[in-house]
Amino acid sequence: MKIAMIGSGYVGLVSGACFADFGHNVVCIDKDATKISNLDNNIMPIYEPGLADLVKRNVDARRLAFSTNLPESVRDCDAIFIAVGTPSRRGDGHADLSYVYAATEEIANSISKPTVVVTKSTVPVGTGDEVEIILGKHQPRELFSVVSNPEFLREGAAISDFKRPDRIVIGTEDEWAKNVMSEIYRPLFLNQSPILFTGRRTAELTKYAANAFLATKITFINEIADLCEKVGADVQEVSRGIGLDNRIGSKFLHAGPGYGGSCFPKDTLALMKTAQDNDSPVRIVEAVVQINDQRKRAMGRKVIHALDGDARGKRVALLGLTFKPNTDDMRDAPSIAIAQTLIDAGAEVTAYDPEGMEIAKELMPSVQMADSSYSAADDTDAIVIVTEWDAFRALDLAKLAEVMKGNVLVDLRNIYNPTEVTQAGLMYTSIGRNR
């Protein structure tokens, strides 16, 4: 089938490349001419393992192309996916749908044959209705059908998630649109990936509900970790103890410095606002948002406590800046608040991250970037593991102790054994383990 993907960012590029790999003919569209030029030269706008190879393979096979010309690119398509950004709107936290509606207006003026228009962007309940209204102002109803098809991709594992999904949610009650979407996803259906056909509004809410629930699991175990430290319990064993219950499951029960990234922060806010607007507040989600925001700076204070309560004049190294490993995404990363808390307390902060430092330089101008873990740790009073990159899982602890001025290691991801750290001559602080 011929598919257009409007938006060549994280969701659009990964989805477009994967659809092309299934054998469809795909064009990814973006207004950013520099981004499109770079993609034509196989320069990716994001870091995602395996993406550059996937894109090159399908470009070489002439199944994947890039363009800035939306009207020309969508004219003969069977399906047009809207995969533009929906960031939190300044001032009120609602999802900013201006990019979605602008893309819809362009689509409305460009299609000339029956076309399925699919919202792949994460959008509040009722957005599909508005997209339908905009299209209907320009085109007869028989020329289009609007579908919701939310994405469930994890940064760092997006290609695998797309090709081996837990489920595919498709919101439409139009039989023709169902048939088109079934054909698009046929390779996954043959692999017995569950496809859930449901109402459009239900599909839209499913995405927000899923992210809010996962954010709640993270926040829950973080609060349990704090309690573990007070009562002398081990949060990792608590996590295992409750995660073995099939009703709960083990995923997203790893204590840490709080969630960040492109999805959870903005999606929990958007769900809150939708619920409030409909006089049905989601109190649990409201608490999750508040607790997570507070936790990030609390982790900075945890580092200060490990420095005997005084960071003034101290030098602290952060290992890991991105909100999670295997991405360069710095959006709402805990490292930003942690670094600022330390700087506000009078500390000098250095940092190293395998992929995120170029973006981090703009967000954290007062932080000195290093070229390795050990150079970041040089002459420091404390090292803080913020992101659990594989590169930080087997550090030479004795070498760290040699290059440091002090001996404090704060492990905000619990990736080290406390005994091994203390044997290397370091003072160890972790999350929820009373160490």
Cβ atoms within 10 A of the Cβ of 275, count? 18
Helices within 112-246 (DSSP H only): 127-136, 158-163, 175-184, 186-190, 200-231, 235-243
Q: How far is CA 198 from CA 119, 170, 181, 206, 286, in A?
A: 14, 6, 13, 10, 27
**Phi, psi for residue 68 in degrees, rounded to 5:** -105, -5
Q: List C-alpha distances in Å: 219 to 216, 288, 325, 377, 379.
A: 5, 6, 19, 30, 34
Radius of gyration of the chain measured on its C-alpha atoms: 23
Torsion sign over Cα 87, 92, 94, 100: negative
CA distances from 386 to 195, 312, 345, 383, 419 (A): 37, 21, 18, 9, 20
C-alpha 291/C-alpha 279 separation (Å) is 23
Catalytic annotation present for 28: no
Pairing status of strand 168-171 against strand 2-6:
unpaired
What are the φ and ψ backbone dihedral angles of 251, each rounded to 5 degrees? -70, 145
Distance CA(39)–CA(28), nearest Å, equals 10
List the catalytic residue out of 18, 28, 77, 263.
Answer: 263
Token digits of residue 156: 């760092």
Q: Where are the beta strands (DSSP E) in 47-114?
A: 64-67, 79-82
Query: 267: which residues sit within 8 A by CB, 6+ positions away?
Result: 122, 207, 208, 211, 212, 215
Measured between its terminal Cα atoms, the distance across the chain in Å is 57
Catalytic residues: 263
